[in-house]
Amino acid sequence: MYDLAVIGAGPGGYVAAISAAKHGAKVLLIEREQVGGVCLNRGCIPTKAYIASAHALHAIHKSSEFGIELAGAAAINFAKAKSRKDEVVSTLRGGIETLLKGNKIELVRGSATFVDSGLRIGEREVDAKNIIIATGSDWIDLPGIKRDGEKIVTSDEVLEWDSLPKSLAIIGGGVVGCEFACMLSEMGVAVTIIEATPSILPPVEAGISRLLARSMKSRGIEILTSTFANSASVTASGVSISLSTGNSIEVEKVMVAVGRRPFVEGLSLASAGIETDGRGYIIVDENFMTRRKNCYAIGDVKGGFMLAHQASAEGEALSEYLFGGSERLRDIGPIPKPIFTYPEVASVGLTSEELKRDGIKFSTGRFPYAACGKALCDGETEGQVLVHGDEDEKVLGVHAFGEGATLMIAEAALAMKAGLSVRQIAQTVHSHPTISETLAEAAADVYGSAVHKMGRKS
398 Cβ neighbours under 8 A, 6+ residues apart:
347, 348, 349, 385, 386, 387, 388, 409, 412, 416, 439, 442
CB 223 within 8 A of CB 200: yes
Distance set, CA 228 to CA 159, 195, 224 (Å): 25, 7, 9
Task: Please identify which of the residues 58, 61, 309, 432 carries the catalytic annotation.
Answer: 432
Half-sphere exposure of 86 (CA within 13 A, CB side): 9
Instruction: Sheet with 337-339: list strands edge to edge.
Output: 337-339, 345-349, 395-401, 384-389, 363-368
Nearest CA to 77 among 105, 40, 115, 50? 50
Looking at the chain, how many residues does it have?
A: 458
Q: Which residues pair with 231 in a beta bridge?
A: 242
Nearest CA to 302 among 319, 318, 285? 285
Helix, strand or coil, per DSSP, at residue 127: coil
CA–CA gap between residue 85 and residue 158 (Å, rounded):
12
Half-sphere exposure of 73 (CA within 13 A, CB side): 4
Q: Which residues pair with 363 in a beta bridge?
A: 389
CA–CA gap between residue 298 and residue 290 (Å, rounded):
10
CA–CA gap between residue 95 and residue 105 (Å, rounded):
14
Q: What share of the chain is helix, strand, coil (3-state, %, to 5)?
A: 35, 25, 40
**φ, ψ (nearest 5 deg) of residue 166:** -75, -30
Q: What sign does the CA torsion over 194, 199, 204, 208 have?
A: positive
Nearest CA to 330 among 340, 319, 317, 345? 317
DSSP 331: P
Q: Which helix (H) or strand (E) holds 60?
A: helix 44-61
Is residue 452 annotated as a catalytic residue, yes or no? no
Q: Give the active site residues.
A: 432
